[in-house]
Structure 1
Amino acid sequence: MKLAFVLLALVAAVCAQKEPWCRCGAFITFDDDEAMVYEMPEVTIDSCENHKQCKNSCTKEMNKYSHYGDLWAMTPLNKTVGQSICETLSGLKHDFVHNHYVYGYYEVCGGPWEYTGIASQGMLCCDDGLQEHCIN
């Protein structure tokens, strides 16, 4: 009887597992901090071992959202990609950001964040939460 109960519990645990999933996010690196500045909706993938599918899906979605890393491209909310990021950073107490690239990352089934290989075309500069053109 105990064996049947253990087997039933094991089957229930396996059935309760979620579908394999993938997260996509854009990050800025500071000297002592990493800040997620944008997160895409979760993507379903074939398996938790399929990192390539996750990476490709994230790369495609981030390029679509940002027009291939253009921080001055307009979003559906009628503001630039960079302005949306500056507002997010301001909420994270990073009101002044100067000369930082934005990098794309992906996460498979709760594992570590991995670099997609994509970055913004130019650097991001924010002055009190407002996007500005960077001056080197």
Structure 2
Amino acid sequence: MKVALLLLATAFAAVSADKEPWCRCAAFITYEYSEIMVYEAPEIAIESCIDDENQCKKACANELNGASNDGDLWMMTDHGVTVGQDICSYLASRFIFWINNKKVYGYYEVCGGAWQWSGVESMQELCCDGGQQEHCVSKKHPRSLLRN
């Protein structure tokens, strides 16, 4: 039994060693117990799964900041809609129609490891109503507005 496990572990290590290193980069909105991916950038080439974590992080931050003018959800894209509307449309295509007051955060992943924050955060909060981006409104109770 031990020999079989050793052979299996050796085979797995050999197959894993042949894989090329890679870096994933994506944007997420965060809930208390979950994350929802709202955008995935093209894969980023790196030299090593062990030595190039900082290269992955920097390239991911550059990609996300470049695609959104440093996190501006109201920036117009080349295809005539805002970054936030792109996200709302993407979410609506996955049956998520309403998002209220959520920041969008950039994360990177090296060679299948854990997702890590890239330091990128949207300037504004994201709000989607029926799949359409809207300006977010503070959720103060109407009576509290009268007291101010």
Q: Compute the TM-score of the two structures, normalised by the length of structure 2.
A: 0.79
Higher gyration radius (CA): 2
| Matching residue's letter, 1:18 | K
Calculate percent identity across the aligned residue pairs.
Answer: 53
Query: Partner residue of 2:21?
Result: 20
Residues 15, 85 of structure 1: alpha-carbon distance in 2 compared, 3 angstrom cutoff: closer
2:100 paired residue among 98, 101, 115:
98
Residues 15, 110 of structure 1: alpha-carbon distance in 2 compared, 3 angstrom cutoff: closer
- Structure 2 alignment gaps of length 5 or more: 1-6, 139-148
Give yes or no for the alignment of 1:86 onto 2:70: no
Residues 16, 33 of structure 1: alpha-carbon distance in 2 compared, 3 angstrom cutoff: closer
**How far apart are residue 14 of structure 1 and its match?**
5.8
Give the 5 Å matches for 1:1-136.
13=14, 17-49=18-50, 50-136=52-138
Aligned pair count?
127
Secondary structure of 2:54's counterpart equals helix
Cα distance in 2 between the residues matched to 1:17 and 1:92:
35
| Matching residue's letter, 1:21 | W
**How far apart are residue 118 of structure 1 and its match?**
1.3
Query: Partner residue of 2:144?
Result: none
Cα distance in 2 between the residues matched to 1:58 and 1:91:
25
Secondary structure of 1:23's counterpart equals strand
Cα distance in 1 between the residues matched to 2:93 and 2:100:
16
Query: Partner residue of 1:3?
Result: none
Secondary structure of 1:35's counterpart equals strand
- Structure 1 alignment gaps of length 5 or more: 1-5
Cα distance in 1 between the residues matched to 2:70 and 2:110:
22
Q: CA RMSD in A?
A: 2.0
**How far apart are residue 42 of structure 1 and its match?**
0.2
Q: Compute the TM-score of the two structures, normalised by the length of structure 1.
A: 0.86
